[in-house]
Amino acid sequence: MTLLGHLIKLAIRAFFRIAFTGLLFIAIGVGVSLLVAYQALRVWPPSIPEWIAVGAVGLLLGYAAGLTVLVREAVSGVSTAERGVVEGVEQAEERVTEA
């Protein structure tokens, strides 16, 4: 597999990992925020300002988790590309020394 093909595969995998992790942590953030709001106020259903705060907490948590996965995938992609370059240089060195 070529280096470009490998990087495209990594990019697609990274996109789905980021999307899944972001949505998962949004759901966790909203759920925990609703639980805390109910425990603090003992009122159900929550009022509009509470829903806004719950949504903000969920979005911030999902955003942070998505960025964390993005950085992790970027580092993984760079290290994979580095390994590919090293292998290419070693192959070129072998060809030059054989000639």
Domain span at residue 11 reads 3-98
pLDDT digit string, tens, across residues 43-85: 889 899 999 999 999 999 999 999 999 999 889 878 877 888 8
Total number of domains constituting the chain: 1
Q: pTM of the full predicted structure?
A: 0.76
The per-residue pLDDT for range 20-50, each reduced to its tens digit, is 999 999 999 999 999 999 999 898 898 999 9
Query: In this predicted structure, what is the pLDDT of residue 99?
Result: 67
Contact partners, residue 76, CB within 8 Å, separation at least 6: 10
Whether the upstream peptide bond of residue 46 has omega within 30° of 0, thus cis, is no
Nearby residues of 53 by Cβ (< 8 Å), 6 or more positions away: 33, 37
